Amino acid sequence: MLEKIMNIYKFFENFVYPRVIEKFGVVQVDFEKEGDFGYLTRFDLYSNKKTATIELWSSHWVGLEIYKLENRDIDIIYNKMISPEEVSEKDFFEFMEILFNDD
């Protein structure tokens, strides 16, 4: 399982992150205090139409959220917390498909 988790983090670093920074402003936040799933590195993504977060926990949980910004409304359109046993590249592809869709 450790190899799978390391591959997911490398996939994020080498495939997801470079594509995200092409279209979104990105702020990386490293939390010093341990939370429910360990230590957190969160990427906050910003554009005019959507914001999103990618959460990478030291316990290997992954959180993915996307919010649509319309007028003064903020609607959550994607929210997924994925366990280390279940996380896969497919989760990031699904996330990016919704994130990059202009609807």
Residue 4 DSSP code: H
> In the prediction, which pLDDT does 4 show?
56
Buried b (16+ CB within 10 A) or exposed e, 53-65: bbbbbeebbbbbb
Over residues 48-83, the pLDDT tens digits come to 899 999 999 989 899 999 999 887 888 999 999 999
The pTM of the full predicted model, rounded to 2 decimals, is 0.85
Q: Judge whether 53 and 41 are in contact, CB under 8 Å.
A: no
Q: How many domains does the chain have?
A: 1
| CA dihedral sign, ordered 22, 25, 30, 33 | negative
Range of the domain at 80: 2-100
Separation CA 41–CA 58 (nearest Å):
8
